[in-house]
Amino acid sequence: MKLRSPFAFVIGLILLISCQHNKINKTMNNANNKADSLINLMTLEEKIGQMNQLMNFVDTLPIESKFYNLIKEGKIGSVLNSFSPEMTREMQRIAVEESRLGIPLLVGRDVIHGYRTIFPVNIGLAATFNPDLVKECAKIAAAEARSEGINWTFAPMMDISRDPRWGRMAESSGEDPYLTEQMAMANIKGFQGENLSNKNSIAATAKHYVGYGAAIGGRDYNTTLIPETELRNVYLRPFKVAVEANVATVMSGFNELNGVPTSGNEYTIKEILKEEWNFNGFVVSDWASIKNLAIHGYAKDSLDATYKALRAGVDMDMCSSHYIENLKSLINNGTITQNQIDDAVKRILKIKFELGLFENPYATKESTLLTEYSKDIATKAVIQSTVLLQNKNKVLPLSKDIKKVAVIGPLADAPYEQMGTWVFDGKEENTITPLKAIEEFLGAEKVNYAPGLKISRTQNKNGFSEAIKAAKNSDVVLLFMGDESILTGEAHCRAKLTLPGYQNELIEEISKLGKPTVLVIMTGVILMVEPYLNQVDALFYGWHPGTMGGSGYVDLLFGIEPPSGKLPMTFPRTEGQIPIYYNHNNTGHPASDESWIRMYDIPEKAWQTSLGNTNHYLDYGFEPLFEFGFGLSYTKFNYSEIKLSKDILSMNDSLIVTAKIKNTGDFVAEDVAQLYVRDLVGSIVRPVKELKRFQRIKLNPGEEKIIEFVLFPKDLEFHNGKEWVIEPGDFHIWIGNSSKASLMSKFELIQ
């Protein structure tokens, strides 16, 4: 690449100052030194420009003159969601070769669960309980994105999600902090690699900081009220782990947290993130969330919103233009200082240096899109994410020798919809649908296809007769039901969590035929599936599976691979049970099967307390339909003989926990062994169970293995509202394959 002289001069000067013997040192300290040296050469306008991120709404070349001039004048530090590699390259070229200092752009994009190869939605990836696989998915997405000039992704989302009405739970890893931590680390390591300067790495973003997933009523952007203990012990935990994993950037959220919007929250950003945790990347606002400070009523106007966001520690403004319009005025009137500007700019430039953008600003141009390897990994992700919830009479797996199969449902052949929410770069023509995969596997002559409904929201029975005919003329019925992608994700929350349109009616009509029936639900959220359990023989929860959904489903349906997915969220029996999650605190009146008083069993004019007082619903009790961590296989696993290396654990020691797991069925299969702990007495009430470890175990029929977990006193730490503590006392510990694990032992932690 031939560089213009200003760019060559600046880089030469920076390298001269910061590097010995003209060798580029890519360590963090030298990235800081290079950033300091470059800041010394910048005007105030150029510094503020680095803090400004704009959306490119134009997809034609040459670039619109207004946008061109902003880049050339150094007034844009980052762009997001450019629409083509050609556009991305041209914007980068202008920044590098035509601006005064030649500072490259950060090119951001929502690479959420894949780029061209689309993997299952994130809640589905969490159901794999396989961080190594999730890391590989992120690694593939990063390489694909970087090959087209993208160097920054707004992922992973690590909001704890305990309310399935929240449509954005599709991007989450569910209700559990530990599982979310593991998925977050896997994604960060996959996106960023061992070194950000690697040509296939992109900068990751920990979002949304913080508490966004706790929106009241599951309504997106809504108020969040989180006590300090819960904020620390649940919602902040994944972000702390992300900082420890050297995540490049953090995104502040849309939501208000305990009265203060998170994009203006000095306590969470400045005090906790930057000072307490020593985060040295930069903070970017969510889309126009600085502007929203005034809409919330937290700021008087745009000038006040700009001041409060910068004061809180937001380094880059996404798309509201508040920084570029107001920061100079705030400097001139003395409201903010030059040091505040320089700190933000240094953080941004440091990441650009660490990404190697000054040396390699453009796309890699390597042919990495949708390779055979990436498709194999995507298929594996579908297989391991799909959760088997029911399998009556062992109707699954199906035999390949079956004569006729009915394939029915609006999601059976919907290539776009099965990719799920937040897909900008996946292509319909690359997507393998269930219909396509089944026809290829069995032969089209063995398949009777009838969608029954045009789309998931169709509200008529026009296609029912063809679907019923297809079912009658088949030996088994495969129903592919669910949600179109637009019905999940940001701003798509729902109060009624059942299949939309006339899908319920179609399932009911098919069930009357008495045919062996398998239901595969394809969605990004948790639906109320209890009614279907009596209508179908087998039920797969397949999420929105992405590019290779059909291939993965075929492997599962026909027993080429057994199911091993586990639920990352608790499944309620009805919306009225929400919120319901496994790791809740105990009450003074805990419910049990024996204590559940059913509404229709209560005698007329019964005395108020004569039937017992426990925390349950009269109509739906206290238990969910399916617990966190649940998932069936085609075989059965037996857990036995839990053993602890010691009964008394000291603060500077570790505890080895073992158990036997045996495959007592007829299939080679994997199970996810899960370890849970309960702190019986604490200075604040502790959860009834907490996931602390998990691992995948593969066993042949009849095979038995010893599984081993190592636990440290640090794993028992919690925040009591004032400080982090590890308190001595008694603990219960369980091993099993769901949060209902019953194989239990106990130990004592001593000072």
Least-confidence region, from 274-288, 484-498, 587-601, 679-693: 587-601
| pLDDT for the residue numbered 610 | 59
Tokens encoding 195 = 């070194």
Contact criterion met (CB below 8 Å) for 427 and 572: no
Segment 83-142, tens digit of pLDDT? 789 999 999 999 999 999 999 999 999 999 999 999 999 999 999 999 999 999 999 999
**What does the pLDDT read at residue 686?**
98
Dist CA 428 CA 415 (whole Å): 5
Is pLDDT above 90 for 344? yes
DSSP string of 370-402? Answer: T-HHHHHHHHHHHHHH-EEEEEGGG--SPPTT-
State the DSSP H helix or E strand holding residue 349, giving kind and residue range, or none if neither: helix 338-354
Residue 82 is predicted with a pLDDT of 77
Contact present, 302 and 322 (Cβ < 8 Å): yes
Given the DSSP bridges, would you call strands 729-736 and 743-750 parallel, antiparallel or unpaired? antiparallel
Residue 191, pLDDT score: 98
The pLDDT score that the predictor gives to residue 57 is 62
C-alpha to C-alpha distances, 50 to 9, 35, 54, 95, 96, nearest whole angstrom: 20, 12, 11, 11, 13
pLDDT over 90, % of the chain: 89
* pLDDT for 61: 87
Find out whether 199 and 361 touch, Cβ atoms under 8 Å.
no
Q: Is residue 742 part of a domain?
A: yes
| CA atoms 19, 22, 27, 32: torsion sign | positive
Contact indicator for 202, 195 with CB cutoff of 8 Å: no
Answer whether 148's CB lies under 8 Å from 363's CB: yes
Q: How confident is the model at residue 612 (pLDDT cuts 50, 70, 90)?
A: low
Alpha-carbon gap, residue 484 to 414, rounded angstroms? 9
Q: Which tokens sit at 584?
A: 């809740």
CA atoms of 178 and 191, how far apart (whole Å): 20
- Give the tens place of pLDDT for each residue, 463-500: 999 999 999 999 999 999 999 999 999 999 999 999 99
Burial class (CB in 10 A: 0-12, 13-18, 19+), 445: exposed
Walk across the sheet containing 637-644 and list its strands. Answer: 637-644, 655-663, 704-711
pLDDT band at 593 (very low <50, low <70, confident <90, very high): confident
Residue 648 lies in a domain: yes
- Helix (H, G, I), strand (E, B), or coil: what is residue 641? strand
Question: What is the pLDDT at residue 8?
Answer: 45
Is 593 among the catalytic positions? no
Over residues 630-667, the pLDDT tens digits come to 999 999 999 999 999 999 999 999 999 999 999 999 99
- Mean pLDDT along residues 344-368: 94
Is 681 part of a structural domain of the chain? yes
**pLDDT at res. 559:** 98
447 located within any domain: no
Average pLDDT (364-373) is: 89
CB 276 within 8 A of CB 282: no
Which amino acid is located at 561 in the chain? E
pLDDT of residue 375: 98
334: in domain: no
pLDDT in tens, 67-84: 999 999 999 999 998 778
Least-confidence region, from 177-186, 204-213, 361-370: 361-370
Burial 145-161 (b: 16+ CB within 10 A, else e): bbbbbbbbbbbbbbbbb
What is the chain's Cα-based Rg?
27
- CATH code for the domain in which residue 746 is found: 2.60.40.10
Q: End-to-end CA distance of the chain, in Å?
A: 62
Tell me what pLDDT residue 290 has: 98
Given the residues 286, 315, 671, 679, select the one marked as catalytic. 286
Beta strands 690-699; 205-209: pairing state: unpaired
8 Å CB contact between 224 and 257? yes
Q: Would you list the DSSP string of 650-717?
A: ETT--EEEEEEEEE-SSS-EEEEEEEEEEESS-SSPPBS-EEEEEEEEEE-TT-EEEEEEEE-GGGG-
Closest CA to 221 of 255, 247, 272: 255
* CA within 13 Å, CB half, 553: 35
Residue 606 pLDDT? 79
Give the rounded percent of residues in the chain with a pLDDT score beyond 70.
95
Strands across the sheet containing 405-408? 387-391, 538-541, 517-522, 476-482, 405-408, 447-450
Read off the amino acid at residue 394. Answer: K
Question: What pLDDT band is residue 227 in, cutting at 50, 70 and 90?
Answer: very high
Element (H, E) at 209: strand 205-209
Average pLDDT over residues 410-423: 98
Q: How confident is the model at residue 27 (pLDDT cuts 50, 70, 90)?
A: very low
Distance CA 740, CA 473 (A): 41
Q: What is this structure's pTM?
A: 0.95
As a whole number, mean pLDDT of residues 259-269 equals: 98
Residue 353 lies in a domain: no
The whole-angstrom separation of Cα 128 and Cα 134 is 8
Nearest to 418 by CA among 495, 496, 520: 520
Structural tokens at position 601 = 């069993």
pLDDT of amino acid 547: 98
Task: Answer yes or no: are the C-beta atoms of 452 and 464 closer than 8 Å.
Answer: yes
Q: Could you tell me the residue range of the domain that residue 734 belongs to?
A: 637-750
Q: Is a pLDDT exceeding 80 seen at residue 12?
A: no
pLDDT digits (tens, 9 = 90+) for 729-748: 999 999 999 999 999 999 99
* Residue 405 bridge partners (DSSP): 447, 476
- The length of the chain in residues reads 751
Q: Phi and psi for 95 in degrees, rounded to 5?
A: -65, -45
Neighbouring residues of 25: CB distance < 8 A, sequence distance ≥ 6: 18, 19
Number of structural domains the chain divides into:
1
Q: Residues 567, 631: contact at Cβ < 8 Å?
A: yes
Q: What is the rounded CA–CA span in Å between residue 552 and residue 142? A: 23
Burial of 311 by CB count in 10 Å (0-12 exposed, 13-18 middle, 19+ buried)? middle
Evaluate whether residue 701 is within a structural domain. yes
For the chain, what is the mean pLDDT? 94
**108 near 81, Cβ under 8 Å?**
yes
* Contacting residues for 557 by C-beta, under 8 A, at least 6 apart: 396, 397, 398, 438, 478, 518, 540
* DSSP letter (8 states) at residue 203: B
Between the CA of residue 726 and those of 138, 682, 710, 729, what are the distances in Å? 34, 10, 17, 10
Confidence of residue 604 (pLDDT cuts 50, 70, 90): confident
Q: Tens digits of per-residue pLDDT, 373-396?
A: 999 999 999 999 999 999 999 999
Cα–Cα dist 182/714, whole Å: 16
Give every CB contact of residue 291 below 8 A, 6+ residues apart in sequence: 302, 305, 320, 322
Q: Calculate the alpha carbon distances from 658 to 138, 695, 705 in Å.
A: 32, 12, 10
Residue 367, pLDDT above cutoff 70: yes
Q: Is residue 437 part of a domain?
A: no
